[in-house]
Chains A and B, each alone.
Chain A
């Protein structure tokens, strides 16, 4: 016994000599909460409990690794290794989830800026954008946006759709919260938002938050790639016409850096083609190009401060030279066209969380834009009076001899027409936002925004015009005078100050049965004319209260079935886009002008089945008032404009969406939008007509209006790694003008020579429409990973407008003003054959 005791004492002493204390910090992995009372079992069976701070002190061997087992009720047991050099250990316990089957569900109800909200917005995720927008000569996020419910059919090469009856240019766009005016390439053919730089795109066209001003028909918020990552990401694309890349490097979990860009590569192809076919080198003076680069930088400056610096710069352009001749080569018209557009902006922001319940965001930014459009034409030729012309005008010289003033024709020598427009704009933006969690699921937000715009414009040139203001003394018919008009304007433009302030109270999160948002926004605009203009204009303050309520009628979280309804109403405002044209001569009084206003009401219902199928129906009514418009007043050979602020619009519609969310074999959606939009410009005189042709203050269909727009987007994945994507769109016709017959007209030059030209009457029609459009796009995608590789490879082959050779919608006929020849007019972009595109993509 004594011997045993001595032996044990020696053993324990030796053991203690090789032992030391280890502290284990035990927490819940999701909530980061300390777990008190967790049991830690040592290899020798000794058990200790964690204290109130979740700390447990255990004795560990100094010389070899040991395994400790930690258990806690409701959590999976955890085994952690204590190695010889360890002094503290972190134990993160997870709730027991035996064989749970809900993983990798992408379309779960997630909160945040990427979530669609019934009655407010539609959202496209990065995956959906990659599938639906990466097709065509230029890959563009708007390609996907145009397929959403509430978006009117726009057709190809047009990134300016009408959103719920709004004018195409009324869509307000923002990149990571920075507002961008006119974010388009090639005059609106494509947007500046590339799918590769985009994490998500949110289109708000319902009762969206009072955080956002200067938007009435819709707000497009594009979020660039997320920097909240702990890994490098790289994407590179070679497509039909462009090379793109994006490159993201995290700063050891303290932020990240994203650099990306795009450059089209038609330049070398055009140059090469020009060597083989000289006509190409002659006719393409600048190959069409788009170039852009963007930078996003985020840095965590402390536990509660995050700093951001973002920038974007882009340019696009095209130049052409055309020589148009008649069949006999007796007439030649040389036409040059050049377009250059540069957009750039940079902004910085601070995100502060001084308290877990308070978020403060400060953003300051600067944007700029410059566009240059130049055209030149030079006409030379010998013209012979046609029989058609002589049938009508032989008597203009008082002699019926099939000659005019004894001549069979006339000549035009070096008649040049030039036009150059240079537009620039500088824009300063700042905003301050406070978000406060005031408890019990209530959130309060307050903020203010300031946006200062300094535009400038310069245009000059000359053109030859035919003004019908003479009467033939022999026939009594009106005829025209040919005259050259020279114009030259260089203005700094009006400086525009837009100030906004908002408050907002919301209740509930996406998972709550009842959610509501109540807020008010005040917007004020002040216009300051150029120096020496003695022009300034204060405008009416627009108060925009908004309210929306969403509630679940049924919710079975286990099955992910949910039926929700929403109602909402609110006022929205947007300053007129023609504000730069205002000056002192219009004699507008302070307080007389305000922004265009819209009162919008929305009701909707959404059914989610099994977390897999979504059905949504939304109805809306919008009344537009205090809309700015210019009355066009014609007098003899002059045109003048007069501003008015009493334009009205009545818009209503229904949007339907049936969607199968991200699925293994087949997903996609069908959207349908019915829209009824009537505008009214009360001050228009009957004879003059509105800008769209309607006269005497009548209600009229705006020229972009379509009753029906529908889209089918189908992503079929028959085998792993292959997708067949089908995009079928449908758009009913837009208003078409009533045209008269094409008539020969005579025009007298200053030297007395009579020229021949053709004209026809065109007037607004309330019933005529262009034919319906049905473009069908197909895309085949293969994607794969090499063994043990994290690099995703993808190849796609796309065909746009594959039905173009079978059917092409027609509008009113067009005619040649020189010959009077009529030919079918088209209503959408088409090159006569399907447009094929390919793309290679590698992403890490």
Chain B
């Protein structure tokens, strides 16, 4: 890469280019991180949600599955447990932590998904209990009371330079949730797809299957124009149930796929995640920070 871009130029120009690219990288990387860190902190400070101070952080692993477990406290000294995993990308599960019983009363499911044009963040109410025990180099997690996601309770959307919040965003997110759940239900029932939702093959397969118009030349037949794409409605009807076929023809699946893939993936993997927790798992402790 270096030779390709810098190889045939004079040393001075090469040096200047390198300095420019380095500065660019430094500025974009550091400013983005700094801005993100500072603003996240400030957002927490002005938010009406309880501000959590992390007391302990555990990074855990088992085969291909990574978990991060945080024990935190709010201003009233109420203990919280925050759990995330690469099985459900962008998701954090919050619960009230009862150290005396080694269990957490789950309260909410926080989800986040971004794409170059914006992001969505949302919270769903959650019920259930988790049992967590800490051993020597091992942490065990197991469902104690069935975990159940209920309703969307809060959310925000940024699209371009506009941020939707409160009831406006809740309405939009509610519609997206309905669509995502419908599509995920279909994907989970499909027997022809790769199983490993974390793999590139999985995404490529479903992208080609659901949205072939993005990568293939047009076919003959009836098309419907939406979101800048001519959708083949015959194909929609052939592969999808009626309600999803209509959604595809309107460009809705394209939008969800591009704008909230992590959300979709989290919903797709949610049953697997629950099954893993139901079964219980002992995770190797990689790091612990206090």
Residues of A within 8 A of B (CB): 29-30, 65, 67, 76, 78-81, 83, 94, 97-104, 106, 125-127, 130, 229-234, 236, 238, 249-253, 662-666, 720-721, 783-793, 795, 840, 842-844
Q: Which residues of B contact A130 (CB under 8 A)?
A: 160-161
Q: Which residues of B contact A843 (CB under 8 A)?
A: 161
Write the B111-128 contact mask toward A (1 if CB under 8 angstroms, else 0). Answer: 010111111010001010
Whole-angstrom distance between the Cβ of B214 and the nearest chain A Cβ: 11
A-B pair number, CB within 8 angstroms: 157
Question: When the two chains form the complex, which single residue of A94, A101, A791 contacts B32, counting CB atoms closer than 8 Å?
Answer: A791
Whole-angstrom distance between the Cβ of A687 and the nearest chain B Cβ: 58
The residue in chain A whose Cβ has the minimal distance to the Cβ of B253 is A101
Is B250 close to A, CB under 8 A? yes
B115 contacts A720, C-beta separation under 8 Å: yes
B40 contacts A790, C-beta separation under 8 Å: yes
B161 contacts A127, C-beta separation under 8 Å: yes
- Indicate whether A842 sits within 8 Å of B35 (C-beta atoms), given known contacts A65-B105, A80-B125, A104-B159: yes
Give the docked Cα–Cα distance between A783 and B38 (Å): 20
> What are 11 pairs between A and B in contact, CB < 8 Å?
A97-B174, A99-B246, A230-B165, A231-B47, A231-B156, A785-B115, A789-B114, A791-B39, A792-B158, A793-B31, A840-B31
Q: Which residues of A contact B117 (CB under 8 A)?
A: 720-721, 783
Write the B86-119 contact mask toward A (1 if CB under 8 angstroms, else 0). Answer: 0000100000000000000101000010111111
Q: Which of B59-67, B69-77, B132-140, B175-183 contacts A (4 or more CB under 8 A)?
A: B175-183
Is B239 close to A, CB under 8 A? no
User: Given known contacts A236-B31, A795-B28, what 16 new A-B pairs fall within 8 Å (CB)?
Assistant: A76-B174, A79-B125, A80-B125, A83-B107, A126-B160, A229-B163, A232-B46, A238-B27, A251-B46, A665-B228, A785-B115, A785-B116, A788-B112, A791-B32, A842-B32, A842-B35
Give the docked Cα–Cα distance between A783 and B161 (Å): 12
Q: Which residues of B contact A666 (CB under 8 A)?
A: 228
Question: When the two chains form the complex, which single residue of B28, B114, B182 contacts A790, counting CB atoms closer than 8 Å?
Answer: B114
- Indicate whether A81 sits within 8 Å of B36 (C-beta atoms), given known contacts A98-B178, A229-B165: no
Is B218 close to A, CB under 8 A? no
Between A721, A783, A785, the greatest number of chain B beta carbons within 10 A of the residue's beta carbon is seen for A785
Which 9 A-B pairs have CB atoms at the shortest separation, nearest pair first?
Answer: A721-B116, A665-B228, A844-B39, A791-B36, A785-B114, A101-B252, A79-B150, A127-B160, A101-B250
Whole-angstrom distance between the Cβ of A28 and the nearest chain B Cβ: 10
Question: When the two chains form the complex, which single residue of B31, B171, B179 contacts A94, counting CB atoms closer than 8 Å?
Answer: B171
The residue in chain B whose Cβ has the minimal distance to the Cβ of A78 is B151
Is B255 close to A, CB under 8 A? yes
Give the docked Cα–Cα distance between A784 and B182 (Å): 28
Give the docked Cα–Cα distance between A252 and B28 (Å): 31
The residue in chain A whose Cβ has the minimal distance to the Cβ of B250 is A101
Residues of B within 8 A of A (CB): 24, 27-28, 31-33, 35-36, 38-40, 42-43, 46-48, 90, 105, 107, 112, 114-119, 121, 125, 127, 148, 150-151, 156-163, 165-167, 170-172, 174-176, 178-179, 182, 227-228, 243, 246-247, 250-252, 255, 258-259
Between A30, A99, A106, A666, the greatest number of chain B beta carbons within 10 A of the residue's beta carbon is seen for A99
Question: When the two chains form the complex, which single residue of A230, A236, A251 contacts B35, counting CB atoms closer than 8 Å?
Answer: A236
B24 contacts A126, C-beta separation under 8 Å: no
A67 contacts B148, C-beta separation under 8 Å: yes
B171 contacts A786, C-beta separation under 8 Å: no
A234 contacts B39, C-beta separation under 8 Å: yes
Question: When the two chains form the complex, which single residue of A100, A126, A249, A788 contacts B114, counting CB atoms closer than 8 Å?
Answer: A788
Q: Which residues of A contact B243 (CB under 8 A)?
A: 98-99
B35 contacts A791, C-beta separation under 8 Å: yes
Give the docked Cα–Cα distance between A604 and B182 (Å): 45
- Indicate whether A104 sits within 8 Å of B157 (C-beta atoms), given known contacts A80-B125, A791-B32: yes
Give the docked Cα–Cα distance between A103 and B33 (Å): 30
Main secondary structure of the interface of A (DSSP, over half): loop
Q: Which residues of B contact A106 (CB under 8 A)?
A: 159-160, 162
Whole-angstrom distance between the Cβ of A91 and the nearest chain B Cβ: 9
- Indicate whether A233 sits within 8 Å of B116 (C-beta atoms), given known contacts A253-B48, A795-B28: no
Whole-angstrom distance between the Cβ of A75 and the nearest chain B Cβ: 12
Give the docked Cα–Cα distance between A65 and B171 (Å): 26
B157 contacts A29, C-beta separation under 8 Å: no
Whole-angstrom distance between the Cβ of A48 and the nearest chain B Cβ: 19
Q: Which residues of A contact B119 (CB under 8 A)?
A: 785, 790
Question: When the two chains form the complex, which single residue of B24, B40, B90, B175 contacts A100, counting CB atoms closer than 8 Å?
Answer: B175
Give the docked Cα–Cα distance between A238 and B27 (Å): 10
- Indicate whether A231 sits within 8 Å of B36 (C-beta atoms), given known contacts A666-B228, A795-B24: no
- Indicate whether A789 sits within 8 Å of B36 (C-beta atoms), given known contacts A127-B160, A784-B116: yes
Give the docked Cα–Cα distance between A509 and B35 (Å): 41
- Indicate whether A840 sits within 8 Å of B27 (C-beta atoms), given known contacts A253-B48, A786-B36: yes
The residue in chain B whose Cβ has the minimal distance to the Cβ of A234 is B39
The residue in chain A whose Cβ has the minimal distance to the Cβ of B157 is A104
A232 contacts B159, C-beta separation under 8 Å: no
Question: When the two chains form the complex, which single residue of B118, B162, B175 contacts A97, counting CB atoms closer than 8 Å?
Answer: B175
Q: Which residues of B contact A100 (CB under 8 A)?
A: 175, 178
B127 contacts A65, C-beta separation under 8 Å: yes
- Indicate whether A252 sits within 8 Å of B46 (C-beta atoms), given known contacts A790-B39, A840-B28: yes
B159 contacts A97, C-beta separation under 8 Å: no
B228 contacts A234, C-beta separation under 8 Å: no
- Indicate whether A790 sits within 8 Å of B258 (C-beta atoms), given known contacts A98-B178, A101-B250, A785-B119: no
A232 contacts B167, C-beta separation under 8 Å: no
Give the docked Cα–Cα distance between A787 and B113 (Å): 9
Whole-angstrom distance between the Cβ of B138 and the nearest chain A Cβ: 27
Q: Which residues of A contact B251 (CB under 8 A)?
A: 101, 664
Whole-angstrom distance between the Cβ of B235 and the nearest chain A Cβ: 18
Question: When the two chains form the complex, which single residue of B105, B150, B170, B182 contacts A80, counting CB atoms closer than 8 Å?
Answer: B150
Give the docked Cα–Cα distance between A662 and B118 (Å): 14
Q: Which residues of B contact A236 (CB under 8 A)?
A: 31, 35
B150 contacts A103, C-beta separation under 8 Å: no
Q: Which residues of B contact A842 (CB under 8 A)?
A: 31-32, 35
- Indicate whether A789 sits within 8 Å of B24 (C-beta atoms), given known contacts A103-B176, A720-B115: no
The residue in chain B whose Cβ has the minimal distance to the Cβ of A721 is B116
Between B32, B90, B170, the greatest number of chain A beta carbons within 10 A of the residue's beta carbon is seen for B32
Whole-angstrom distance between the Cβ of B29 and the nearest chain A Cβ: 9
Whole-angstrom distance between the Cβ of B186 and the nearest chain A Cβ: 12
Q: Which residues of B contact A783 (CB under 8 A)?
A: 116-117
Q: Which residues of B contact A231 (CB under 8 A)?
A: 43, 46-47, 156, 163, 165
The residue in chain A whose Cβ has the minimal distance to the Cβ of B228 is A665
Whole-angstrom distance between the Cβ of B90 and the nearest chain A Cβ: 7
B28 contacts A793, C-beta separation under 8 Å: yes
Between B172, B175, B251, the greatest number of chain A beta carbons within 10 A of the residue's beta carbon is seen for B175
Question: When the two chains form the complex, which single residue of B32, B162, B182 contacts A793, counting CB atoms closer than 8 Å?
Answer: B32
Q: Which residues of B contact A97 (CB under 8 A)?
A: 174-175, 178
Give the docked Cα–Cα distance between A230 and B156 (Å): 10
Whole-angstrom distance between the Cβ of B141 and the nearest chain A Cβ: 19
Q: Which residues of B contact A234 (CB under 8 A)?
A: 35, 38-39
Whole-angstrom distance between the Cβ of A81 and the nearest chain B Cβ: 5
B125 contacts A29, C-beta separation under 8 Å: no
A664 contacts B227, C-beta separation under 8 Å: yes
Whole-angstrom distance between the Cβ of B43 and the nearest chain A Cβ: 5
Question: When the two chains form the complex, which single residue of B112, B174, B228 contacts A664, counting CB atoms closer than 8 Å?
Answer: B228
The residue in chain A whose Cβ has the minimal distance to the Cβ of B39 is A844
Whole-angstrom distance between the Cβ of B86 and the nearest chain A Cβ: 12
Give the docked Cα–Cα distance between A795 and B47 (Å): 30
The residue in chain A whose Cβ has the minimal distance to the Cβ of B160 is A127
- Indicate whether A94 sits within 8 Å of B28 (C-beta atoms), given known contacts A721-B116, A785-B119: no
- Indicate whether A81 sits within 8 Å of B116 (C-beta atoms), given known contacts A99-B178, A231-B43, A236-B31: no
Q: Which residues of B contact A785 (CB under 8 A)?
A: 114-116, 119
B48 contacts A252, C-beta separation under 8 Å: yes
Q: Which residues of B contact A664 (CB under 8 A)?
A: 227-228, 251
Whole-angstrom distance between the Cβ of A298 and the nearest chain B Cβ: 14
The residue in chain B whose Cβ has the minimal distance to the Cβ of A96 is B178
